[in-house]
Amino acid sequence: MSSKLVTWVLILLLVLIGLQGQSKAQEQPSHGAKSEVHQPEEWRFALPPGYPARGREVFVRFECYSCHQVLGEKFPQPGGDAIGPELSQMGPMHPPEYFVESIMNPSAVIEDRYRGADGRSKMPSFNDIMTVEELIDLAAFLKSLGGAHRSPSPGGQRH
């Protein structure tokens, strides 16, 4: 076989493969088309369990106490006008996923007194500096506050 013929055969094969790929792409929904979402019944997103004691350390490392008071804890007192909600009884009031959303997207659910002039939460974003593990542990710490649970001491066990 001559080299010209081999070249043309390869070009023809590439064109045919390209046309076949285009027809398959047309069969699949485009990005704008609606497609069904398949989700098992009764499924809901749930966080893996975190470590409340490590979450307490995250609370200290990110200086959450500078805006949030936790009664019964020996954190420095919040100051200035950046006061957020008091957290000592929040644990039994919300699932851990609520705390995660409140940290990741503080403007998702917000009371007027915590709203800034721009309409968004006064709470800063930690999304670029907090790891997922820190976030899960912090949510576990917040979940442990109040109710029958006391705040975990450093070295405490996972709930």
CATH code at 137? 1.10.760.10
Q: Which residues contact 83 (CB under 8 A, 6 or more apart)?
A: 67, 68, 69
Q: Residue 140: give the domain boundaries.
A: 52-144
Instruction: Please indicate, yes or no, if residue 92 is contained in any of the structural domains.
Output: yes
Instruction: Please indicate, yes or no, if residue 42 is contained in any of the structural domains.
Output: no
151, 145 contact by CB (below 8 A): yes
Whether the per-residue pLDDT at 15 is higher than 50: the answer is no
Instruction: Please indicate, yes or no, if residue 138 is contained in any of the structural domains.
Output: yes
The number of folded domains in the chain is 1
In this prediction, residue 28 has a pLDDT band, given cuts at 50, 70 and 90, of low
* pLDDT tens-digit readout, 98-151: 999 999 999 999 899 999 999 999 999 999 999 999 999 999 999 999 965 444
156, 57 contact by CB (below 8 A): no
* pLDDT of 103: 96
Instruction: Please indicate, yes or no, if residue 16 is contained in any of the structural domains.
Output: no
* pLDDT of 45: 79
The predicted model gives 35-41 an average pLDDT of 79
C-beta neighbour count of 136 within 10 angstroms: 21
Instruction: Please indicate, yes or no, if residue 28 is contained in any of the structural domains.
Output: no
* pLDDT of 69: 93
% of the chain at pLDDT higher than 90:
53
Instruction: Please indicate, yes or no, if residue 21 is contained in any of the structural domains.
Output: no
Whole-prediction pTM: 0.67
Instruction: Please indicate, yes or no, if residue 129 is contained in any of the structural domains.
Output: yes
Average pLDDT, the chain: 79
- Look up tokens 């966080």; give the residue: 47
Instruction: Please indicate, yes or no, if residue 31 is contained in any of the structural domains.
Output: no
